[in-house]
Protein backbone atom coordinates (compact mmCIF):
# COMPACT_ATOMS: atom_id res chain seq x y z
CA UNK A 1 0.00 0.00 0.00
CA UNK A 2 0.85 3.66 0.03
CA UNK A 3 3.53 4.75 2.52
CA UNK A 4 2.88 8.51 2.89
CA UNK A 5 6.47 9.34 3.87
CA UNK A 6 6.98 12.06 1.23
CA UNK A 7 9.86 10.11 -0.32
CA UNK A 8 8.37 6.89 -1.70
CA UNK A 9 6.33 7.16 -4.88
CA UNK A 10 2.79 6.24 -3.78
CA UNK A 11 1.11 6.76 -7.14
CA UNK A 12 0.88 3.09 -8.16
CA UNK A 13 -0.46 1.97 -4.77
CA UNK A 14 -3.14 4.68 -4.74
CA UNK A 15 -4.08 4.03 -8.38
CA UNK A 16 -4.33 0.31 -7.63
CA UNK A 17 -6.83 1.03 -4.82
CA UNK A 18 -8.85 3.26 -7.18
CA UNK A 19 -8.75 0.58 -9.91
CA UNK A 20 -9.97 -2.09 -7.46
CA UNK A 21 -13.01 0.01 -6.60
CA UNK A 22 -13.69 0.81 -10.25
CA UNK A 23 -13.45 -2.86 -11.27
CA UNK A 24 -15.69 -4.03 -8.44
CA UNK A 25 -18.43 -1.55 -9.32
CA UNK A 26 -18.98 -1.00 -5.60
CA UNK A 27 -18.91 2.30 -3.78
CA UNK A 28 -15.91 2.82 -1.54
CA UNK A 29 -13.62 5.18 0.30
CA UNK A 30 -9.86 5.42 0.04
CA UNK A 31 -8.60 6.92 3.28
CA UNK A 32 -5.36 8.87 3.52
CA UNK A 33 -4.00 8.91 7.08
CA UNK A 34 -1.78 11.84 8.05
CA UNK A 35 1.25 11.89 5.73
CA UNK A 36 2.67 13.09 2.41
CA UNK A 37 1.70 10.85 -0.48
CA UNK A 38 4.15 11.51 -3.29
CA UNK A 39 2.80 10.90 -6.80
CA UNK A 40 4.84 11.39 -9.95
CA UNK A 41 1.82 11.26 -12.26
CA UNK A 42 -1.88 11.82 -12.00
CA UNK A 43 -4.48 9.56 -10.43
CA UNK A 44 -7.13 8.57 -12.97
CA UNK A 45 -10.73 8.06 -11.79
CA UNK A 46 -13.34 6.75 -14.23
CA UNK A 47 -15.64 4.82 -11.89
CA UNK A 48 -18.59 5.72 -9.73
CA UNK A 49 -19.11 6.48 -6.05
CA UNK A 50 -15.47 6.71 -5.03
CA UNK A 51 -14.38 8.93 -2.16
CA UNK A 52 -10.84 10.11 -1.47
CA UNK A 53 -10.89 11.00 2.24
CA UNK A 54 -7.97 12.69 3.97
CA UNK A 55 -7.20 13.11 7.64
CA UNK A 56 -5.85 16.31 9.16
CA UNK A 57 -2.38 16.62 7.66
CA UNK A 58 -2.90 14.40 4.58
CA UNK A 59 -1.13 15.61 1.43
CA UNK A 60 -1.05 14.39 -2.15
CA UNK A 61 2.07 16.02 -3.51
CA UNK A 62 4.54 15.89 -6.36
CA UNK A 63 8.27 16.43 -6.76
CA UNK A 64 8.91 19.94 -8.07
CA UNK A 65 10.23 18.50 -11.33
CA UNK A 66 7.25 16.19 -11.81
CA UNK A 67 3.85 16.37 -13.44
CA UNK A 68 1.71 18.85 -11.51
CA UNK A 69 -1.55 17.17 -12.58
CA UNK A 70 -2.72 15.20 -9.58
CA UNK A 71 -6.25 13.90 -10.16
CA UNK A 72 -8.02 13.27 -13.47
CA UNK A 73 -11.76 12.53 -13.21
CA UNK A 74 -13.19 11.43 -16.55
CA UNK A 75 -16.56 9.87 -17.37
CA UNK A 76 -17.13 9.32 -13.65
CA UNK A 77 -20.08 9.83 -11.32
CA UNK A 78 -20.42 10.35 -7.58
CA UNK A 79 -16.77 11.21 -6.89
CA UNK A 80 -15.94 12.97 -3.61
CA UNK A 81 -12.66 14.43 -2.44
CA UNK A 82 -12.65 15.53 1.21
CA UNK A 83 -10.09 16.94 3.63
CA UNK A 84 -7.03 16.56 1.41
CA UNK A 85 -4.16 18.94 0.76
CA UNK A 86 -3.36 18.65 -2.94
CA UNK A 87 0.04 20.22 -3.61
CA UNK A 88 1.03 20.45 -7.27
CA UNK A 89 4.64 21.31 -6.40
CA UNK A 90 5.09 24.52 -8.39
CA UNK A 91 8.24 26.46 -7.77
CA UNK A 92 8.71 29.98 -9.09
CA UNK A 93 10.13 29.19 -12.49
CA UNK A 94 9.27 32.15 -14.68
CA UNK A 95 7.57 29.71 -17.05
CA UNK A 96 4.37 30.56 -18.84
CA UNK A 97 1.27 29.05 -17.23
CA UNK A 98 0.21 25.60 -18.35
CA UNK A 99 -3.51 25.28 -19.10
CA UNK A 100 -4.38 21.97 -17.62
CA UNK A 101 -5.60 21.39 -14.11
CA UNK A 102 -4.22 19.97 -10.93
CA UNK A 103 -7.69 18.42 -10.67
CA UNK A 104 -9.26 17.81 -14.11
CA UNK A 105 -12.98 17.05 -14.31
CA UNK A 106 -14.16 15.92 -17.74
CA UNK A 107 -17.66 14.74 -18.74
CA UNK A 108 -18.46 13.61 -15.21
CA UNK A 109 -21.43 14.01 -12.86
CA UNK A 110 -21.92 14.65 -9.15
CA UNK A 111 -18.38 15.62 -8.24
CA UNK A 112 -17.73 17.10 -4.80
CA UNK A 113 -14.50 18.68 -3.56
CA UNK A 114 -14.87 19.90 0.02
CA UNK A 115 -12.60 21.07 2.82
CA UNK A 116 -9.46 20.73 0.71
CA UNK A 117 -6.41 22.92 0.18
CA UNK A 118 -5.29 23.01 -3.47
CA UNK A 119 -1.96 24.75 -3.96
CA UNK A 120 1.16 25.48 -6.02
CA UNK A 121 -0.06 24.95 -9.58
CA UNK A 122 1.72 25.93 -12.81
CA UNK A 123 -1.71 26.64 -14.26
CA UNK A 124 -5.25 25.75 -13.28
CA UNK A 125 -6.12 24.26 -9.91
CA UNK A 126 -9.52 22.88 -11.00
CA UNK A 127 -10.35 22.50 -14.69
CA UNK A 128 -13.97 21.61 -15.57
CA UNK A 129 -14.63 20.51 -19.17
CA UNK A 130 -17.09 18.76 -21.43
CA UNK A 131 -20.52 17.49 -20.50
CA UNK A 132 -19.89 17.76 -16.77
CA UNK A 133 -22.96 18.20 -14.58
CA UNK A 134 -23.29 19.00 -10.86
CA UNK A 135 -19.94 19.94 -9.37
CA UNK A 136 -19.65 21.28 -5.83
CA UNK A 137 -16.54 23.14 -4.68
CA UNK A 138 -17.13 24.03 -1.03
CA UNK A 139 -15.02 25.25 1.88
CA UNK A 140 -11.73 24.88 0.02
CA UNK A 141 -8.61 27.03 -0.01
CA UNK A 142 -6.91 27.74 -3.34
CA UNK A 143 -3.32 29.03 -3.00
CA UNK A 144 -0.41 29.97 -5.29
CA UNK A 145 -1.97 29.42 -8.70
CA UNK A 146 -2.46 31.05 -12.08
CA UNK A 147 -6.21 30.35 -12.35
CA UNK A 148 -8.15 28.81 -9.45
CA UNK A 149 -11.21 27.35 -11.21
CA UNK A 150 -11.65 27.30 -14.98
CA UNK A 151 -14.55 25.98 -17.02
CA UNK A 152 -14.04 25.18 -20.68
CA UNK A 153 -16.93 24.18 -22.94
CA UNK A 154 -14.87 24.49 -26.11
CA UNK A 155 -13.47 21.00 -25.99
CA UNK A 156 -13.65 18.34 -28.67
CA UNK A 157 -17.11 17.10 -27.56
CA UNK A 158 -18.66 20.54 -27.99
CA UNK A 159 -20.76 19.82 -24.89
CA UNK A 160 -21.03 22.42 -22.16
CA UNK A 161 -20.77 21.87 -18.42
CA UNK A 162 -23.54 23.04 -16.10
CA UNK A 163 -24.68 23.18 -12.47
CA UNK A 164 -21.36 24.13 -10.90
CA UNK A 165 -21.51 25.51 -7.35
CA UNK A 166 -18.51 27.37 -5.91
CA UNK A 167 -19.36 28.19 -2.30
CA UNK A 168 -17.42 29.51 0.69
CA UNK A 169 -13.94 29.07 -0.80
CA UNK A 170 -10.83 31.16 -0.19
CA UNK A 171 -8.65 32.21 -3.14
CA UNK A 172 -5.23 33.70 -2.36
CA UNK A 173 -1.81 34.28 -3.83
CA UNK A 174 -2.68 33.99 -7.51
CA UNK A 175 0.01 35.11 -9.94
The confidence score (pLDDT) of residue 153 equals 61
Average pLDDT, 10 consecutive residues per value, the chain (175 residues): 94 97 95 94 93 93 68 95 88 56 89 93 81 92 82 62 90 79
Contact 22, 50 (CB under 8 A): yes
Q: Tell me what pLDDT residue 138 has.
A: 97
pLDDT at site 16: 97
Give me the pLDDT at residue 93, please: 56
Name which of 83, 65, 79 is nearest 134 in CA terms.
79
Give the pLDDT of residue 161: 79
- What local confidence, expressed as pLDDT, does residue 155 receive? 55
Give the pLDDT of residue 78: 97
| pTM for the whole structure | 0.90
What is residue 66's predicted lDDT score, i.e. its pLDDT?
A: 55
Beta-strand (E) ranges in the chain?
A: 5-9, 28-32, 35-38, 43-45, 50-54, 58-61, 71-74, 77-82, 85-87, 98-106, 109-114, 117-119, 123-129, 133-138, 141-145, 147-152, 162-167, 170-174
The CA distances from residue 122 to 23, 87, 102, 175, in Å, are 33, 11, 9, 10
Amino acid sequence: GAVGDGVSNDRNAIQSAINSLQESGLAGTITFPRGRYLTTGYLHITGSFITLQGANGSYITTPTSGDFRKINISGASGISIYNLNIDAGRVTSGRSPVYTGTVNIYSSNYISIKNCNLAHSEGLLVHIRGATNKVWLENNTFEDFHIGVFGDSNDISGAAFNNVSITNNVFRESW
